[in-house]
C-alpha cells in the first residue's frame, strides 16, 4: 500500500486526505500553521509537522507527497519532496512562473521520480465524452471555439489570504480558471498566438485581474475566444466550452462543465447519464467538480505504469506557458 504525506492543510487538503485514506495510506501531514496540521492529522490518526524538511527526514517511508499549499509555494515544496526521493502530486497550478515549472521538471528527472499535477476536470463525464469524439474525429476539423468562465468570488474570499496577491496568487487565470486552459490544450492542442485584455472592475483590494477577454489562434488553425470573470452577481453562473467542427457542434456547460447543453453531431448523439461528482463547496462559494477520487485512482496506476495516462508535469507547464502568453499579450494591449 502506497504511503503518502500532505503538505498544506487547508480546505483542498481535506479532499486529498479522504481519497488517500480510501486507496492508500496517509502517514503524515504538514503545515506552518500547526493547529491546522493537528486537526487534519487527528482526523486520520497520523503524524503532523510544521516543517517540511523535518517531516521528510523523520519519515523516510513516505513515497508520495501531495502538495496542497498556496500557488507560489508549489515549486518550492514539490522540488523539496522530489529531492528527498519522493514522487509528487501538485495541486493546480503547477507553478505561477514558467521558469519554476521547468525547475520542477528538472528536479523530477534528476531524482528519477514522477511529478504530476491535479487536473480533475479532465474526468468530468461530458469532458470525457468530448475528448472521445475528438480522438475519433467525429466532429471533423475544429474551426472555432468559445470558452466562458463566469464565476463569483466575493471580497470575503480574498480577505486575510494569499489569494488576490499577484506574487502569491499569480492571477485569476491561475487560481480559478487554469483548468479551462488545460482543457483547451488537452482538447485542441497548442496555442500559436493570443491577443488579450484584462482588467479589475469590482475587487479594489486585490492586485490581480477579475476579468479578461482572450482571442486565441491555435497551431491547428482554429480560432476562438475565452471570456472570463469572477464578477457574476452573488453566485457562479457558467463554465463552458463550445466547439464548432465540420461535422458537429457541441457545448458542454453548466457551472462546472458538468452538462451537455447543446449537441448537433453528424450521425451521433452523446448520452451522458452520470454527470459526475458535485462541486466543491467552500461555504460562501463553490469551486469546480470534485474528481479527486479519479485523480488518485489514476495517480496510483501511473506511478507503476509509464504508459498510464495522467496529467503530467509537462502538461502543467504548458498551462503556465499559455497563461503567461495571455498576460504578456494583455500588457502589450495596455495603453
Q: What is the DSSP string of 68-105?
A: -S-GGGHHHHHHHHHHTT-EEEEPSSS-SSHHHHHHHH
Per-residue pLDDT of the chain (335 residues; tens, 9 = 90+): 999 999 999 999 999 999 999 999 999 999 999 999 999 999 999 999 999 999 999 999 999 999 999 999 999 999 999 999 999 999 999 999 999 999 999 999 999 999 999 999 999 999 999 999 999 999 999 999 999 999 999 999 999 899 999 999 999 999 999 999 999 999 999 999 999 999 999 999 999 999 999 999 999 999 999 999 999 999 999 999 999 999 999 999 998 899 999 999 999 999 876 555 555 554 544 455 579 999 999 999 999 887 787 888 999 999 999 999 999 999 988 76
For residue 194, the 8-state DSSP code is E
Question: pTM of whole model > 0.85?
Answer: yes
Q: What is the DSSP string of 223-252?
A: EEEEEEESBSSSS--EEEEEEEETTEEEEE
Angle at 237 between CA 321 and CA 161, to 5 degrees: 60
Q: What is the pLDDT of residue 285?
A: 47
Sorted by sequence, the CB contacts under 8 Å of residue 69 that are 6+ apart come out as 7, 8, 77, 91
Annotate 317-332 with b (16+ C-beta within 10 A) or e (fewer): bbbbbbbbbbbebbee
Q: What is the pLDDT of residue 310?
A: 83
**Side-by-side strand order, sheet with 238-245:** 191-199, 211-218, 223-229, 142-150, 238-245, 248-253, 259-265
Q: What is the pLDDT of residue 276?
A: 53
Q: What is the pLDDT of residue 277?
A: 53
The alpha carbon dihedral of 99, 105, 312, 7 has a sign of negative
Tracing cell 523516510 back to the chain, one arrives at 60
The alpha carbon dihedral of 160, 206, 102, 301 has a sign of positive
Q: Which CATH entry fits the domain spanning 122-286+313-332: 1.10.4080.10, 3.30.360.10, 3.40.50.970, 3.40.50.920?
A: 3.30.360.10
H or E stretch including 39? helix 34-44
CA 242 from centroid of its chain's CA atoms: 20
In the chain, where the domains are located: 3-120, 122-286+313-332
Cα separation of 70 and 82, whole Å? 18
Q: What is the pLDDT of residue 309?
A: 76
H or E stretch including 295? helix 292-304
Report the DSSP beta bridge partners of residue 211.
Answer: 199, 229
Tracing cell 493537528 back to the chain, one arrives at 38
Per the structure block, which three cell numbers stand in for 109?
Answer: 528527472
Where does 3-120 sit in CATH, by number? 3.40.50.720
Amino acid at each position: 500500500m502506497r504511503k503518502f504525506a500532505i503538505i498544506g492543510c487547508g480546505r483542498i487538503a481535506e479532499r486529498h486526505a479522504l481519497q488517500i485514506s480510501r486507496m492508500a495510506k496517509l502517514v503524515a501531514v504538514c503545515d506552518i500553521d500547526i493547529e491546522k496540521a493537528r486537526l487534519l492529522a487527528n482526523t486520520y490518526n497520523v503524524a503532523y509537522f510544521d516543517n517540511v524538511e523535518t517531516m521528510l527526514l523523520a519519515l523516510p517511508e513516505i513515497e508520495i507527497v501531495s502538495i496542497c499549499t498556496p500557488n507560489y509555494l508549489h515549486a518550492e515544496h514539490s522540488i523539496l519532496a522530489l529531492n528527498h526521493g519522493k514522487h509528487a502530486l501538485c495541486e493546480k497550478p503547477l507553478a505561477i512562473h514558467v521558469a519554476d515549472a521547468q525547475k520542477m521538471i528538472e528536479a523530477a528527472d534528476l531524482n528519477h521520480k514522477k511529478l504530476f499535477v491535479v487536473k480533475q476536470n479532465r474526468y468530468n463525464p461530458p469532458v470525457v465524452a468530448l475528448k472521445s469524439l475528438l480522438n475519433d474525429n467525429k466532429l471533423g476539423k475544429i474551426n472555432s471555439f468559445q470558452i466562458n468562465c463566469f464565476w463569483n468570488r466575493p471580497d470575503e474570499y480574498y480577505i486575510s489570504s494569499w489569494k488576490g496577491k499577484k506574487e502569491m496568487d499569480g492571477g485569476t487565470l491561475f487560481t480559478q480558471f487554469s483548468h479551462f486552459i488545460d482543457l483547451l490544450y488537452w482538447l485542441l492542442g497548442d496555442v500559436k498566438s493570443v491577443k488579450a485584455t484584462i482588467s479589475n472592475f469590482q475587487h479594489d483590494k486585490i492586485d490581480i485581474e477579475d476579468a479578461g477577454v482572450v482571442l486565441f489562434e491555435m497551431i491547428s488553425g482554429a480560432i476562438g475566444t475565452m471570456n472570463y470573470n469572477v464578477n457574476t452577481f452573488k453566485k457562479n453562473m457558467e463554465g463552458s466550452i463550445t466547439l464548432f467542427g465540420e461535422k458537429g457542434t457541441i457545448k458542454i456547460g453548466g457551472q462546472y462543465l458538468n452538462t451537455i447543453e447543446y449537441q448537433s453531431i453528424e450521425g451521433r448523439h452523446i448520452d451522458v447519464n452520470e454527470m459526475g461528482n458535485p462541486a466543491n463547496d467552500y461555504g460562501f462559494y463553490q469551486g469546480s467538480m470534485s474528481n479527486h477520487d479519479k485523480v488518485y485512482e489514476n495517480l496510483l496506476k501511473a506511478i507503476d505504469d509509464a504508459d498510464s495516462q495522467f496529467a503530467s508535469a509537462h502538461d502543467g507547464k504548458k498551462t503556465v506557458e499559455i497563461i503567461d502568453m495571455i498576460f504578456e499579450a494583455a500588457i502589450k494591449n495596455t495603453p
